[in-house]
């Protein structure tokens, strides 16, 4: 027995050291104080089905509160955290996705104790495109004695893409505001085309030239005096 006990002493000593180190690390984790922290992390949506588009507003971020050993939280890199919603296999229509702790990429020793929002409503629609006329958005009043005679846009139409249901309701797209305040002569300005509907964006014709023709207000004809 003594011979067996002292056989390969180096290997046995190494195993003992390793066991002591493991015990020390594990017991140290148990002794370490537990902390909580809050983070605001980006919300990512992955595996969107082909030829579909999200037709509903989606929050850009989620607020999470985590709990774990102080050292683990101190080593956590907030810039690498994200909440993920996986749309793999999702069908068209509305669905409410519940955010679960496993949707957030934290280390195993860190616990997710709260997520806000807890649910995200997502509406999937068919991706479509249309050509729509551009109607400039004018603000202000021309100078006294002047008036707007005509408004020209080049190009006159824009190609927009987005949810089929939203595009079907749109009659035109507009531009960012163009002021005509105190203007008394014709002028041209570049303008950005805007698609003011969730999920709709301008694919072609994002920037246009708007020419606003301004002329004098016609004076009324003098009233004829009755013959004597």
For residue 86, name the pLDDT band (cuts at 50, 70, 90). very high
Take residue 56 and report the two structure tokens written for it: 């509903």
**Residue 38 and residue 117 share a domain:** yes
CB 101 within 8 A of CB 111: yes
Verdict on whether the full-model pTM lies above 0.75: no
CB 85 within 8 A of CB 44: yes
* Straight-line distance from the first to the last Cα atom of the chain, in angstroms, rounded to the nearest whole number: 149
- β-pairing, 187-194 vs 207-216, is antiparallel
Print the SS3 string covering 86-144. ECCCCCCEEEEEECCHHHECCCCCCEEEEEECCEEEEEEEEEEEEEEEEECCEECCCCC
Query: Looking at 92, 126, 160, which one is the last position of a domain?
Result: 126
**Residue 177 and residue 104 share a domain:** no
Question: Is the per-residue pLDDT at 110 higher than 60?
Answer: yes
User: Domain limits at 207?
Assistant: 127-216
What is the Rg, in whole angstroms, of the alpha carbon atoms belonging to the chain? Answer: 34
Residue 82, domain CATH? 2.170.120.30
**Residue 73 and residue 54 share a domain:** yes
**Residue 111 and residue 43 share a domain:** yes
**Residue 108 and residue 40 share a domain:** yes
CB 81 within 8 A of CB 73: no
Domain count, the chain: 2
**Residue 136 and residue 97 share a domain:** no
Does residue 39 sit within a domain?
A: yes
Unique residue bearing structure tokens 């698609």 = 195
- Burial group, residue 222, by CB count within 10 angstroms (0-12, 13-18, 19+): exposed
Does residue 27 sit within a domain?
A: no
Residue 143, domain CATH? 2.170.120.40
Unique residue bearing structure tokens 């005679």 = 149
Q: How far apart are CA 221 and CA 228, in angstroms?
A: 21
- Burial group, residue 175, by CB count within 10 angstroms (0-12, 13-18, 19+): buried
Query: Looking at 126, 141, 171, which one is the last position of a domain?
Result: 126
pLDDT, tens digit (0-9, with 9 covering 90-100), for 136-182: 999 999 999 999 999 999 999 999 999 999 999 999 999 999 999 99
- What count of other Cβ atoms lies within 10 Å of the Cβ of residue 121? 13
**Residue 142 and residue 111 share a domain:** no
**Residue 40 and residue 106 share a domain:** yes
Query: Looking at 126, 157, 191, which one is the last position of a domain?
Result: 126
Question: Is the per-residue pLDDT at 21 higher than 90?
Answer: no
**Residue 189 and residue 109 share a domain:** no
pLDDT, tens digit (0-9, with 9 covering 90-100), for 31-72: 568 899 999 999 999 999 999 999 998 999 999 999 998 888
Q: How far apart are CA 99 and CA 93, in angstroms?
A: 19
For residue 196, name the pLDDT band (cuts at 50, 70, 90). confident
Does residue 96 sit within a domain?
A: yes
Sheet strands (E) in the chain: 34-46, 52-54, 61-69, 83-86, 93-98, 111-116, 119-135, 138-139, 146-154, 157-163, 173-175, 178-179, 187-194, 201-204, 207-216
Does residue 37 sit within a domain?
A: yes
Question: Is the per-residue pLDDT at 127 higher than 70?
Answer: yes
Predicted confidence at residue 222, as pLDDT, reads 42
CB 208 within 8 A of CB 153: yes
Predicted confidence at residue 198, as pLDDT, reads 79
């Amino acid at each position: 027995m003594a011979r067996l006990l002292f056989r390969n002493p180096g290997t046995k000593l190494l195993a003992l050291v390793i066991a002591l180190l493991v015990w020390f690390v594990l017991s140290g984790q148990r002794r370490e104080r537990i902390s909580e922290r809050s983070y605001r992390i980006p919300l990512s949506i992955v595996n969107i089905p082909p030829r579909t588009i999200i037709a509903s507003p989606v929050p850009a971020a989620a607020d999470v509160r985590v709990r774990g050993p102080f050292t683990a939280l101190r080593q956590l890199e907030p810039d690498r955290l994200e909440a993920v919603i996986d749309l793999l296999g999702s069908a068209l229509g509305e669905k409410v996705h519940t955010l679960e702790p496993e949707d957030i990429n934290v280390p195993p020793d860190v616990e997710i104790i709260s997520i806000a929002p807890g649910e995200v409503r997502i509406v999937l629609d068919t991706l479509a495109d249309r050509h729509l006329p551009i109607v400039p958005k004018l603000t202000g009043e021309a100078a006294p004695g002047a008036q707007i005679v005509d408004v020209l846009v080049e190009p006159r139409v824009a190609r927009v893409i987005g949810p089929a249901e939203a595009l079907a309701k749109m009659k035109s797209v507009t531009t960012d505001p163009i002021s005509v305040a105190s203007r008394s002569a014709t002028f041209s300005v570049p303008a950005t085309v805007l698609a003011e509907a969730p999920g709709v964006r301008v694919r072609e014709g994002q920037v246009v030239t708007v020419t606003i023709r301004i002329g004098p207000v016609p004076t009324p004809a003098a009233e004829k005096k009755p013959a004597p």
